[in-house]
């Protein structure tokens, strides 16, 4: 009766082991199988002693049951051990490949971040920011050059205007003098007219004097012709002076077009340049801030990649742990094998009694 | 352009009104020639308060005036500069050549 109760107990235990094996995590499975095995082995040895002491037909039956049970337990345990070992190996493989992939992609990430950082620096320095090397200031240099060109253009415009206005003043002076000459010519013409009249009067007086005035008439004629020549020269000079005056007027107009430049072009260009300069400086500042930000981010990512890579070393620990679990499984298997042997040691008698037991059964 | 002249002790003030360009050169010259001819004047102030436009010939005239004034030991200052007139004078760096008020 006691061995029957033991059988029920063992069956219950086997069921518990099976359930644990189905649902529980690997370490619990190993524990459960281990506990069950110890119990079964203990019971089996105890039962073996009782069967050898009391030779009863009933005890032969119990031995057979026990053997079947232990066989079942051993087989189940070995099956579980094998499954667990396989699963462990698969787990190790998965972890290894996953951590390898992760390591590789973290390293790639690190490299990409570094490349991105370098590229950003390069772009920034090419655009001519006030960054460390500052070698490529082409854009702002260009603006400064343009600004200088504009300044020198303004300077030359102003100095051209100054020279032109100086010329205008000189020409005004000449024009005034031309007018003075023309006034003098008027005087000369008046004198010549007067002389002409006087000569005419003299001629008339000479005619009245008759023979005595004949010589005087010749002198009067000469004086008249001189006054007429003076008048002719005077009008020639007037003509030339008019031409000078006309030329001065023309030059005046020509100078107007040189000297008189609208300065708004300079204002507009200057303000555009200043706006561009300001925008450029702003851009440089923004660029600097962005680069700084990228720098910080890259540093942070590097730190995170580093800690992730360190965290990936859990693979070693899991390898060690799974190795231990495998060794535990192996010792469990050895224990089970030992238990089986122990149960079989109680067998030498059962084969002799197997027939009476079977006949007892029948 | 209209020019009004006002004299206080040693300073002559020429107040300009209108467009200061090439066409003003006769008026401007006769105004400053009259002032330059007076030995008791030490300083000439050009008042731009009513000037609404300035071209490069005006700048040239101012430079000529400065040259002549310096030759006669007189100083030229530019006053009441506003708006685009001020900007044009600044762009031409007149701040370095004249006293600006």
Report the CATH number at residue B64: 3.30.750.24
User: Which residue bears the tokens 């951590």?
Assistant: A99
Which residue of chain A comes nearest to B93, CA vs CA?
A: A155
Please give the biggest Cα pair distance in chain A.
215
Res A352: pLDDT: 45
Please give the model's pTM, rounded to 2 decimal places: 0.60
Instruction: Note which residues in 97-116 of chain A have CB less than 8 A from chain B.
Output: none
Asked if the C-beta of A157 comes within 8 angstroms of chain B's C-beta atoms, the answer is yes
DSSP label at residue A262: B
Query: Residue A36: pLDDT above 60?
Result: yes
| Contact yes or no for B91 and A162 at CB 8 A | no
Show the tokens assigned to A204.
Answer: 């008339």
Using an 8 Å CB-CB cutoff, list chain A residues near B88: 263, 266-267
Mean pLDDT of A167-180: 93
The structural domain count of chain B equals: 1
Q: Where is A355: in which H helix or E strand?
A: helix A349-361
Q: How far is B42 from chain A (nearest CA, A)?
A: 23
Asked if the C-beta of B97 comes within 8 angstroms of chain A's C-beta atoms, the answer is no
Question: How sure is the predictor about B98, in pLDDT bands with cuts at 50, 70 and 90?
Answer: very high
| Contact yes or no for A162 and B60 at CB 8 A | yes
Please give the ipTM for the structure prediction: 0.93
Distance of CA B91 to the CA centre of its chain: 17
Structural domain span for residue B91: 2-100
Of the candidate ranges A29-33, A128-132, B66-70, the one whose mean pLDDT is the lowest: A128-132
Whether B100 and B81 have beta carbons less than 8 Å apart is answered as: yes
Q: Where is B17: in which H helix or E strand?
A: strand B11-20
Asked if the C-beta of B88 comes within 8 angstroms of chain A's C-beta atoms, the answer is yes
Distance of CA A206 to the CA centre of its chain: 116
Per-residue pLDDT of A76-104, as tens digits, reads: 888 888 888 888 888 888 888 888 888 88
Show the tokens assigned to B55.
Answer: 């071209």
Q: Is A19 exposed, middle or buried (0-12, 13-18, 19+ CB in 10 A)?
A: exposed
Which of A247, A250, A229, A230 minimizes the C-alpha distance to A178? A247
Distance CA A303, CA A314 (A): 18
Asked if the C-beta of B26 comes within 8 angstroms of chain A's C-beta atoms, the answer is yes
Which of A197, A193, A183 minimizes the C-alpha distance to A237? A183
| Contact yes or no for B93 and A155 at CB 8 A | yes
Q: Pick from A154, A158, A262: which is nearest to B60 by CB?
A: A158
Asked if the C-beta of B99 comes within 8 angstroms of chain A's C-beta atoms, the answer is no
DSSP codes, A70-86: HHHHHHHHHHHHHHHHH
Whether B41 and B7 have beta carbons less than 8 Å apart is answered as: yes
Distance CA A49, CA A63 (A): 11
| Contact yes or no for A162 and B87 at CB 8 A | no
Pairing relationship of beta strands B2-8 and B99-100 according to DSSP bridges: unpaired
Which of A69, A5, A99 minimizes the C-alpha distance to A311? A99
């Amino acid at each position: 009766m006691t061995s029957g109760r033991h059988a029920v107990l063992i069956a219950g235990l086997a069921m518990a082991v099976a359930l644990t094996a189905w649902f529980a995590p690997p370490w619990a499975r190993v524990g459960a199988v281990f506990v069950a095995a110890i119990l079964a082995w203990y019971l089996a040895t105890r039962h073996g002693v009782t069967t050898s002491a009391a030779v009863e037909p009933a005890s032969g039956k119990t031995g057979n049951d026990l053997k079947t049970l232990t066989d079942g337990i051993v087989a189940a345990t070995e099956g579980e051990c094998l499954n667990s070992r396989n699963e462990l190996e698969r787990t190790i493989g998965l972890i290894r490949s996953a951590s390898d992939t992760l390591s590789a992609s973290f390293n790639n990430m690190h490299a990409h971040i570094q490349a991105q950082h370098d590229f950003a620096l390069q772009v920034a320095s090419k655009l001519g920011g006030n960054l460390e090397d500052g070698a490529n200031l082409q854009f702002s240099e260009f603006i400064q050059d343009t600004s200088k060109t504009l300044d020198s253009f303004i300077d030359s415009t102003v100095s051209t205007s100054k020279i032109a206005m100086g010329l205008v003043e000189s020409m005004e002076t000449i024009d005034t003098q031309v007018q003075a000459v023309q006034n003098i010519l008027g005087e000369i013409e008046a004198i010549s007219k007067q002389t002409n009249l006087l000569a005419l009067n003299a001629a008339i007086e000479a005619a009245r004097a008759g023979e005595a005035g004949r010589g005087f008439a010749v002198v009067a004629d000469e004086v008249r012709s001189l006054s007429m020549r003076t008048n002719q020269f005077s009008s020639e000079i007037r003509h030339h002076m008019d031409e000078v005056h006309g030329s001065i007027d023309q030059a005046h107009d020509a100078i107007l077009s040189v000297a008189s430049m609208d300065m708004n072009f300079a204002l507009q260009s200057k303000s555009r340049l200043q706006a561009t300069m300001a925008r450029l400086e702003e851009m440089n500042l923004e660029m600097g801030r962005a680069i700084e930000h990228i720098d910080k981010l890259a540093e942070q990512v590097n730190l995170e990649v580093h800690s992730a890579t360190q965290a990936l070393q859990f693979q070693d620990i899991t390898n060690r742990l799974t190795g231990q679990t495998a060794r535990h499984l192996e010792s469990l298997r050895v224990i089970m094998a030992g238990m089986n042997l122990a149960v079989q040691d109680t067998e030498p008698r059962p084969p002799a009694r197997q027939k009476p037991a079977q006949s007892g059964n029948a | 352009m209209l020019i009004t002249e006002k004299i206080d002790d040693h300073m002559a003030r020429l107040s300009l009104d209108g467009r200061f360009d090439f066409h003003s050169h006769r008026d401007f010259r006769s105004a400053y020639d009259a002032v330059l001819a007076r030995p008791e004047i030490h300083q000439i102030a050009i008042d731009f308060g009513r000037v609404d436009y300035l071209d490069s010939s005006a700048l040239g005239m101012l430079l000529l005036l400065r040259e002549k004034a310096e030759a006669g030991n007189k100083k030229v200052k530019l006053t009441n500069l506003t708006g685009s007139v001020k900007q044009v004078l600044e762009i031409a760096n007149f701040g370095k050549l004249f006293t600006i008020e």
